[in-house]
Structure 1
Amino acid sequence: MPPALSFGLPVHDGERFLPTALESLLDQDLEDIEVVVSDNGSTDGTEEICRAAAAADPRVRYHRSPTNRGGTWNYREVLARSSAPLFSWMAVDDVKLPSFASACLKGLDAHPEAVLATTRARLIDGAGVVFEDLRDTALGLDAGTAHERVRNLYRSQASHVMYGVVRRSALDRARPLLPMVGDDIVLLTELLCQGPAVVVGDQAFLQRRVPEQLSLQGHEQVKWHAPSARVRFAFPQTRLNLELYRAVATTDLPWREKARCWGTVAPAWVLPRWRAMARDVATAAGVHA
């Protein structure tokens, strides 16, 4: 009998925050869960922490790759190894308070048309101190039409909702995460074309912000997703723009609604980021700022 909810925890050299992340998942007030941990070739104490957790709690399932195959591969891996009809990604930096799972499940039960549910979020620093409440009370991701939901996603840039609880059936209808910068926005576009996302009132998701994350930009960001990528010719922003159009094309929306979704991509996403596309061209030409 599969559990009600699978948490997927991809990790690479995450010993600093891994114990806190694992504890937050195992302390959920919903006991019928599994925690699928995929260790992507860690060289620090990650393996020892994970093996100890798996030995202490049968809900933890630990898998290890001997080499680092990239962040996108690892995010795919935890999903592929999960078994529940509901799934939630968990970044090793983050914390989900005990009410997170049950609040999200109640949200999905109350909205059977929704593809995902998440709680409101707060930002924490490296010490776990809250320093900002996200403005996520009215994201508009529950709008009645796909093009409204997609437009509201791009305008709010609320990519953190990907870490909510998602119906596995909706993930199975979407393409796997792509090994590229912005893979979360592409996936959310496909999901929101299928149905709405609901945000419940609890502030049970704590998303961590530390300097190491902010430094992961440009070439390093491309390499994080796909270590073998040719950075100079990756064109990350340009590729993301194109994939957003493809994301809409892959859905089962009626053609008229697809056209409305496509019509939101340029004004809500592409045009505000024209400088990033210019940087893509400069990088390919060997020009550095």
Structure 2
Amino acid sequence: MATESDIDGSGEQDLPLVSIGLFAYNEARFLRRTLDSLLAQDYANIEIIISDNCSTDETEAICLEYAQRSSWIRYHRRPHNVGSAANSIHVLEQATGKYFMWASGHDAWSPGLISTCVTLLEGHPSSALAYGPASWIDEEDRAWDKESGWYDTRGMQAMLRFFMAFWGNAHPILGLIRTRYLHELPKIHACVGADQIVLVELALKGDFLHAADAMWWRRQPRKRESHADRIRRYKSSDFGLAKSWLDRSLPLLRLPLEQARAVLRSQLGIGEKIAVLMALVPAFLVRYLAGRKA
């Protein structure tokens, strides 16, 4: 476990800074466990940026308490609720580290997750992100009989990396990402499926590395959801993803459009772009209109 003295020691100068962006809204029930998990990381050069989306519970008091205890933590409170998507973009905008990781206010991570992912990324300069396997837990930290799938794109060409991210789940978005690549994106859209858009953009930039020993425990306080349940939740005002009539009527419309634009903006050759776009037409129909799980 890293200590406060580690942060002030000479060893920190040899370690790239990692920014963790924690977006929170009314997370008082789980927030202490989440912050304890982040502060228990065995990596010594971390900043934790908390953006409190104008919570109405004890979230603010808990964050201020922990900010007094650790110089790693920077706490921001939004004057009004801007929605989950805008709040998650805000923490990225505050990041100063070489690497960045989004964190929700109710999850947990193994103590070596950051150090393991940094080692992988530093050893593979062509990589975009590193992430570990995810397991679900409930409100009482009990494990579900469910784990995430994973993929590793080392050795793959950009076209294949794109389709791996297209068909894969969205869990890598909560891995450790090269901050520069995120800042190079023209825009992170506050729309349904924004995580999938970012992932295909990142896949076109570099490899996704799977860190088998870097565990992420994803808390699921809600009941198990169907695809339709998730879409209804994403369209709610809590997320701020469906602000127009068109977004509410066709919540997935912008997703394939932005993924196609990512291909057009990429460094792929003209022939490769045409091939990918042609393959995307039937893929879109199967992936999104058929309601396949993300």
Q: Does 1:166 align with 2:180?
A: no
Q: Deviations over 1:147-168 (max 9, x none)?
A: 2112122222x20111111111
Structure 1 match to 2:162:
150
Q: How does 1:195-206 map to 2 (within 5 A)?
A: 195-206=206-217
Deviation at 1:184, TM superposition (A): 0.2
Structure 2 match to 1:135:
149
**8 Å CA contact 1:147, 1:260 repeated in 2:** no
After superposition, the Cα gap between the structure-2 partners of 1:200 and 1:263, relative to the gap in structure 1 and judged at 3 Å, is farther
Match of 2:92 among 68, 76, 79: 79
Q: Deviations over 1:50-73 (max 9, x none)?
A: 111111111100001111101111
Q: Secondary structure at the match of 1:117?
A: strand
CA RMSD of aligned residues (A): 2.3
Structure 1 match to 2:3:
none
**8 Å CA contact 2:49, 2:73 repeated in 1:** yes
Q: Deviations over 1:251-271 (max 9, x none)?
A: 233323323332343333433
Q: Which amino acid aligns with 1:197?
A: F
Deviation at 1:93, TM superposition (A): 2.3
Q: Which amino acid aligns with 1:151?
A: F
The TM-score with structure 2 as length reference comes to 0.85
After superposition, the Cα gap between the structure-2 partners of 1:12 and 1:212, relative to the gap in structure 1 and judged at 3 Å, is farther
* Segments ≥4 residues shifted beyond 4 Å: none
Distance 1:241 1:30 in 2: 38
Q: Does 1:225 align with 2:239?
A: yes
Q: Which amino acid aligns with 1:129?
A: R
**8 Å CA contact 1:3, 1:34 repeated in 2:** no
Q: Secondary structure at the match of 1:24?
A: helix
Paired residues in the alignment total 274
Q: Secondary structure at the match of 1:16?
A: helix
Match of 2:219 among 183, 208, 218: 208
Q: Which amino acid aligns with 2:88?
A: Y
After superposition, the Cα gap between the structure-2 partners of 1:124 and 1:261, relative to the gap in structure 1 and judged at 3 Å, is farther
Q: How does 1:1-289 map to 2 (within 5 A)?
A: 4-131=17-144, 132-136=146-150, 139-156=151-168, 158-211=169-222, 214=225, 217-222=230-235, 223-226=237-240, 229-230=243-244, 233-234=247-248, 235-275=250-290
Identity %: 29
**8 Å CA contact 1:7, 1:35 repeated in 2:** yes
Q: Secondary structure at the match of 1:44?
A: coil
Structure 1 match to 2:6:
none
Q: Deviations over 1:173-196 (max 9, x none)?
A: 113321111000000010101111
Distance 1:123 1:259 in 2: 39
The TM-score with structure 1 as length reference comes to 0.87
**8 Å CA contact 2:131, 2:214 repeated in 1:** no
**8 Å CA contact 1:122, 1:203 repeated in 2:** no
Structure 1 residues without counterparts, runs of 5 or longer: 277-289
Q: Deviations over 1:80-125 (max 9, x none)?
A: 1111111111112211110100010111122110011112222222
Mean CA deviation greater in 92-101 or 204-213: 204-213
Distance 2:252 2:23 in 1: 24
Q: Which amino acid aligns with 1:199?
A: H
After superposition, the Cα gap between the structure-2 partners of 1:103 and 1:221, relative to the gap in structure 1 and judged at 3 Å, is same
Distance 1:233 1:135 in 2: 29
After superposition, the Cα gap between the structure-2 partners of 1:4 and 1:128, relative to the gap in structure 1 and judged at 3 Å, is same
Distance 2:88 2:21 in 1: 8
**8 Å CA contact 1:6, 1:82 repeated in 2:** yes
Structure 2 residues without counterparts, runs of 5 or longer: 1-12
Distance 1:126 1:262 in 2: 42
Q: Deviations over 1:213-257 (max 9, x none)?
A: 848634431233327713565321122121111122232333233
Q: Which amino acid aligns with 1:164?
A: G
Deviation at 1:9, TM superposition (A): 0.2
